[in-house]
Amino acid sequence: MISRAVLAVIVALVLAAGAAARPEPFDPFGAAGVDQKPGAQIPLDRRFQDETGRTVSLRELADGKPLVLAPVQHRCPNLCALTLEGLRDAFTGQSFKPGKDFVLVALGIDPHETRDAAELSERRMTGGPDAASGIHALTGKPEDIAAVTKALGYRYAWDPRIGQYAHIAAVAVLTPKGKLARWLYGLAPKPEDFHLALIDAGQGQVGDLGDQIRLLCYHYDPVTGQYSNLIWSALRWGGGLTIAGLAGIIGFAMLRERRRRRVA
């Protein structure tokens, strides 16, 4: 007969094997995100298909202009549509124009999507059925999509439970040579942040002298993907220090007056 000790060991091994066979639960928050890679070079010569069915590269589309790249799932039933519509509101709310000053691309992360899905994203960004110059939506092969997204530091993963990709809403702004300049996070980037990111990415080629001077007044926070006004912050800090200094002077004067009265 098998002893109780041996039987216990067998049961423990069976339970351990069963636990090891069970896959770890999918963690969308751990699978999706952005690894900060400022200045990373993006492979611009990978080939994709645009919303018209043409085979193109990011270099051809950018044509020497800053490139705004939005990784999306074109047929995502959740937030991607809102992301692209928010992106449209961001670029229409500032003065730089797609095609003239920059190029906007929605890059599909799902290699199974086709031209029809890309056309849907292109319409969401243009706000209508007519193609707009400088606005494109791409689909591609797994290796080409992965080459671009890995270079960007953009992480996403397939969630088999719901049959969708876990990914975050983020937009990469690239220099004309394909280097990562800025990330803008969230469903609807502020037009002001969009404008400043393009000035940053343009490296002096986008915007006038006033824009360049204005950029000096702002600080980019890579954690939030937003710009804060340095001058306004300095004024607030300066005002706070002034008030604190005045309070200190008044307090010191009152203390001297009390001491004078005690002596008298």
Put simply, whether the predicted model's pTM sits higher than 0.85 gets the answer no
Share of the chain above pLDDT 90, in %: 47
| pLDDT, the chain, mean | 78
C-alpha to C-alpha distance for 242 and 126, rounded to whole angstroms: 49
C-alpha to C-alpha distance for 71 and 146, rounded to whole angstroms: 11
**CA 234 to the chain's CA centroid:** 27
Give pLDDT, residue 240. 47
Closest CA to 179 of 206, 151, 212: 151
DSSP assignment of 132-150: -TTEEEEB--HHHHHHHHH
pLDDT tens across 33-77, in order?
999 898 999 999 999 999 999 999 999 999 999 999 999 999 987
pLDDT tens across 218-229, in order?
555 666 666 565
SS3 90: helix
172 to 10, 49, 107, 129, 180: CA distances (angstroms): 54, 20, 11, 25, 7
Task: Pinpoint the alpha helices (H) of the chain.
Answer: 4-21, 28-31, 58-62, 80-92, 115-126, 142-152, 191-202, 209-216, 230-263
C-alpha to C-alpha distance for 261 and 264, rounded to whole angstroms: 5
Asked whether the predicted pLDDT for residue 155 surpasses 80, the reply is yes
Q: Which amino acid is at 161?
A: R
pLDDT tens across 89-104, in order?
999 999 999 999 999 9
